[in-house]
Structure 1
Amino acid sequence: MRIATWVVCLAATLASGCTSAPLRQMDAVDALMQRYQGKVPGASLLVIKDGKALVRRGYGLADLETGTPAAPATNYRLASVTKQFTAASILLLAQDGRVGLDDPIRRWLPSLPPTADGITIRHLLTHTGGLIDYEDIMSPDTRVPLRDADVLKLLEGERRTYFPPGSSYRYSNGGYSLLSLVVEKASGMSFQSFLKQRIFLPLGMTNTLAYVQGGPPVPNRAFGYSLIDGRWTRTDQSMTSAVLGDGGIYSSIDDLAKWDAALYDDRLLSDESRRLAFHPWTKTDDPTIEYGFGWRITGETLWHSGETIGFRNVIVRYPRRHFTVVLLTSRNDPEPYRTALDIADVFVGAGKH
């Protein structure tokens, strides 16, 4: 099926609100999603094959206090699923000729200390820069949520690195926070505005946004919860929740369906930019996983999880099969990656690969 036809099929499916999975498969999916059903923090699940939504539905509640059910349009804080959008922003600026992937980070953020010499944008994209984790050096007395500029201030005073740039891998939220500041410097726009103007609006992701307190509210918002002493307690925000580059986007399965479709053609990213994003640039601390630009790579899959206080999410793409599972949840447990793989097995027998 041609890419353009997939887009038409996807649009029709989302507009109709229907799913097309056989009853046997839906029963298997519902069994896997049973823990999210009822008056508990819920989830939204999307399964796409050849641009057609086989499953598109919510389970449980998006807001326990009001009893609002989770739905396909419910917006969840994506946490580190955000990183693929931050990486795409850098790639768009590279396409524009405004940023070079091998630019030293201090070219764009000169207030970083000399210990950052040698760290490039490419290193930050692949978590190979060696930056100290900002979560480990922020004050335990922090009472005002950090923003990306605050992450930069913390790292300005840090004279250590974990390793020389490019010599190893260590997952770095701070690196992606700094990348959002590079986007701002290179584009002359706020990061949230760049995302909206260059990614979300062109793709029709009209309910997706990088959430900033005092800015536009999150529509159809899910609130995050944690199981504490046997009760679900709202734990929606932490002192790092306002950092945008590493995890601040809110989106829904309906909007992520549009994002997934755009990753098959050049409507947003060029062929070369997508090749760069999906290339296994480095091994990680898991021998089964390599890392691209904002994407983990395992066998035939491109995927990324996102975990933050009250939210656990994952997107798993099988590009050669034109198949994707997106599972967004508003709770601290369980981690949904394994569930997404099991759901993939129901449809294409691909989850274990």
Structure 2
Amino acid sequence: MPIPPRRRTPFGPRLGAVSVFAACLALLSPAGAEAAARPAPHPDQALQQQLEGLVRAPGGPPGVVAVLRDGRGTRVLRAGVADRETGRRSDPNDHMRIASAAKAFSGAVALSLVDRRYLRLDDTLRERLPRLPRAWGSVTLRQLLNHTSGLPDFAQAPAFAATLGTDPRHRFDSRRLLDYVADQPLRFRPGSRYQYSNSDNIAAALMAEAATGVRYERLLEASVYRPLGLRHTSLPQGYRMPRPYLHGYDVNPPSPAEDVSEALSTSGVWASGDIVSTPVDMTRFVRGYAGGRLYGHDVVREQRRWIPGAASEPAGPGRNDAGLALFRYTTRCGVVLGHTGNTLGYTQLIAATPDGHRSLTFSVTTQINQAMKPDLLQELRAVQENFVCALLR
């Protein structure tokens, strides 16, 4: 469908599922005079050792890639392999599933449209998507983006799980995913509490389509990919991964690690977790997104109205607070903004300073979350915090 006639175009030149480290490493340093005489390890060496520790941990990922970028350049640290069968080393240009970090992309599309007055943060589902259940009608775009909507999570619906269990590569109609929970009421009064839900970003993407008459895939291209120079990022509907890619694994000792990179169709997550990208592209994205390059100061200010203690899934480093499709991670060394994600075979963290000048992209090739691997998640978050400290020092 053609882009509707422009008022203030949302594509102007100003745009810039089934579902883990530090400058401060005192615990690695022996005490006493003997320690004082021994030279301290290079910071990157200490970070590298921590990546290797994650790979060796029980249930740990076969591969880890971390990209740190600041005003002095880019550092890439990696451990393990991209492909256990061939032994190939990972590369920052390898493709990967970014899981719920894709929610930042649907947030970017929606907020870009708010900036250009195609949408308002107070627009409701009743106004924009009247076909959805009447009981959901008062939910606003703002509540979708900060996960205070109360929408039931379609990914937890028994019928959705049954379809996926019978045919993991089933081709879903992505725009009908909310039908799986259309018979359910809201979980709570909209705006009254925080609860992370995959349904929120599906509804936000549908609102963007309704407001513009343009398919979400095209909105992504015009509002995010092109302005930020993302050349290897896509929203596929099938299960195939573009080559080359970081293989994702299901790691549950004592069973051997199983390659699950192409086990699932991504049509079942769409705007809540479908995107495939690379560490290089995700670095570009988070610097622009967290840095507020995609919309004006008024929208940035609204995006950064934080809900204290509201965590991403999985939780990121330090204390987590939720904004609009963005999280604030307050570490012992300072603050970064970003998003996390996990899905079968992959766990992601993307983060940048509020000005976008320094960034961290941290990708591991197995699923790590509180429900499945709580101890490993705790270790992962500690390592991620040490990387943030290395970035900010």
TM-score, normalisation: structure 2: 0.74
Distance 1:154 1:102, change over 3 A: same
Task: After TM superposition, give the deviation of residue 34 of structure 1 in Å.
Answer: 0.4
CA distance 1:240–1:258, change in 2 (3 Å) = closer
Pairwise CA distance, 1:44: 1.7
Contact 1:277 1:295 in 2 (8 A): yes
* 2:266 aligned with 1:244: no
Q: Distance in 2 between matches of 1:199 and 1:241?
A: 20
Residues 169/221 of structure 1: CA separation in 2 closer, same or farther (3 Å cut): same
Indicate which of 173, 176, 186 corresponds to 2:198.
173
Measure the CA separation in 1 of the matches of 2:248 and 2:229. 26
CA distance 1:321–1:264, shift in 2 (3 Å): closer
Please tell me the residue identity of whatever aligns with 2:155: E
Q: 1:318-333 to 2 correspondence within 5 Å?
A: 318-319=353-354, 322-333=357-368
Q: Which has the higher contact order (CA 8 A, sep 6+)?
A: 2
Residue from 94, 113, 124 that aligns with 2:114: 94
Contact 1:147–1:240, Cα closer than 8 Å, also in 2: no
Partner of 1:212: 237
Pick aligned residue for 1:151 from 165, 177, 194: 177
Unaligned runs of 5+ in 1: 1-6, 8-21
Match of 1:337 among 381, 385, 389: 381
The answer on whether the counterparts of 1:147 and 1:243 sit within 8 Å (CA) in structure 2 is no
**1:18 corresponding residue in structure 2:** none
Q: Flag the 1:313–1:118 CA change in 2: closer, same or farther, 3 A.
A: same
Q: Which moved more, 1:67-76 or 1:261-270?
A: 261-270
2:45 to 21, 24, 27: 27
Residues in 1 aligned to 2:251 and 2:97: alpha-carbon distance in whole angstroms: 18
Shift of 1:124: 0.5
Rg larger for? 2
- Among candidates 186, 210, 216, match of residue 161 of structure 1: 186
Name the SS for the 1:157 alignment partner.
Answer: coil
- Cα offsets for 1:6-59 (capped at 9, x unmatched): x9xxxxxxxxxxxxxx98112111101104669x72122111223621x22443
Give yes or no for contact 1:147–1:244 (8 Å, CA) kept in 2.
no
Partner of 1:198: 223
Instruction: Give 5+ residue unaligned stretches, structure 2.
Output: 1-15, 17-39, 369-375
The one-letter code sitting in structure 1 at the alignment partner of 2:130 is P
Instruction: Tell me, yes or no, if the aligned pair for 2:80 and 2:89 is still in contact at 8 Å.
Output: yes
* CA pair 157-320 structure 1, distance change in 2 beyond 3 A: same
Instruction: After TM superposition, give the deviation of residue 76 of structure 1 in Å.
Output: 1.4
2:65 matched residue in structure 1: 44
In structure 1, C-alpha distance between the alignment counterparts of 2:229 and 2:336, rounded to whole Å: 25
The change in CA–CA distance for 1:108 and 1:68 in structure 2 (over 3 A counts) is: farther
Q: 1:3 maps to what in 2? A: none
* Contact residue 60 and residue 69 of structure 1 kept, 8 A: yes
Tell me, in whole angstroms, the C-alpha distance in 2 between the residues paired with 1:46 and 1:303.
14
1:45 is paired with a residue of what secondary structure? Answer: strand
2:162 counterpart SS class = coil
